[in-house]
Structure 1
Amino acid sequence: MKDLKQFNIQYVGLKEESHLFEYQIGKTFFDAYNFDEFFDANINVALTLEKKNTLLNLSFNAQGTINVLCDVSGEPFDQEIETELQLIVKFGEEFNDDNEEILILPYSEFQLNVAQYIYEMIVLSVPTKRVHPKVLDGSMESEALKKLEKLRVKEVKTTENVDPRWDKLKSLITEKKT
Structure 2
Amino acid sequence: MKELQKYTLSIGSLENKSYEFDFESGDAFFEAMEQELIQHGSFKTHLVLTKSSSMVQLNFHIQGTVELICDRSLDPFDEPVDIREQLFLKYADRAEELTDEIELILWDTQQINIARYLFDFIVLSLPMKKLHPRFRQDETEEDEEQEGKVVYRSDAAETGDESQEPPIDPRWDLLRKLNNN
The bucket for the TM-score relative to the shorter chain is 0.7 to 0.9
How far is the alpha carbon of 1:168 from its aligned partner? 7.1
- Taking the aligned partners of 1:101 and 1:37, their CA distance within structure 2 comes to 23
CA contact (8 A) 2:30 2:40 kept: no
How do 1:91-130 residues align onto structure 2 when only pairs under 5 Å count? Answer: 91-130=91-130
Q: 1:70 aligned to 2:62?
A: no
Kindly tell me the number of residue pairs found equivalent between the two proteins.
146
TM-score, length-normalised on structure 1?
0.73
**Given residue 156 of structure 2, which amino acid in structure 1 is its aligned partner?**
D
How do 1:98-177 residues align onto structure 2 when only pairs under 5 Å count? Answer: 98-137=98-137, 166-167=155-156, 171=162
Structure 2: unaligned runs, 5 residues or longer: 139-153, 164-181
- Tell me what 1:37 maps to: 37
Q: CA deviation digits over 1:21-55, x for unaligned, max 9?
A: 11112121111222223241011111110112221
Q: CA deviation digits over 1:110-131, x for unaligned, max 9?
A: 1111111111011111111122
Quick one: structure 1 residues 168 and 27, their matched pair in 2 at CA, closer, same or farther if it must change by over 3 Å? closer
**Given residue 45 of structure 1, which amino acid in structure 2 is its aligned partner?**
T
Matched position secondary structure for 1:28? helix
Q: 1:58 aligned to 2:47?
A: no
CA contact (8 A) 2:10 2:110 kept: yes
Q: CA deviation digits over 1:73-116, x for unaligned, max 9?
A: 22111111111221111111111113221111111211111111
What RMSD over aligned residues (CA atoms) do the two structures have, in Å?
Answer: 2.1
Matched position secondary structure for 2:42? strand
Quick one: structure 1 residues 112 and 167, their matched pair in 2 at CA, closer, same or farther if it must change by over 3 Å? same
- Taking the aligned partners of 1:55 and 1:37, their CA distance within structure 2 comes to 32
Structure 1: unaligned runs, 5 residues or longer: 139-164, 173-178
TM-score, length-normalised on structure 2?
0.72
- Taking the aligned partners of 1:168 and 1:102, their CA distance within structure 2 comes to 57
Matched position secondary structure for 2:89? strand
CA contact (8 A) 2:70 2:77 kept: yes
Quick one: structure 1 residues 53 and 137, their matched pair in 2 at CA, closer, same or farther if it must change by over 3 Å? same
The structure that has the greater radius of gyration is 2
- Tell me what 1:151 maps to: none
- Taking the aligned partners of 1:100 and 1:168, their CA distance within structure 2 comes to 51
**Given residue 13 of structure 2, which amino acid in structure 1 is its aligned partner?**
G
Quick one: structure 1 residues 75 and 53, their matched pair in 2 at CA, closer, same or farther if it must change by over 3 Å? same
**Given residue 43 of structure 1, which amino acid in structure 2 is its aligned partner?**
F
Q: CA deviation digits over 1:105-163, x for unaligned, max 9?
A: 1112111111111110111111111221223357xxxxxxxxxxxxxxxxxxxxxxxxx
CA contact (8 A) 2:98 2:104 kept: no
- Taking the aligned partners of 1:71 and 1:8, their CA distance within structure 2 comes to 35
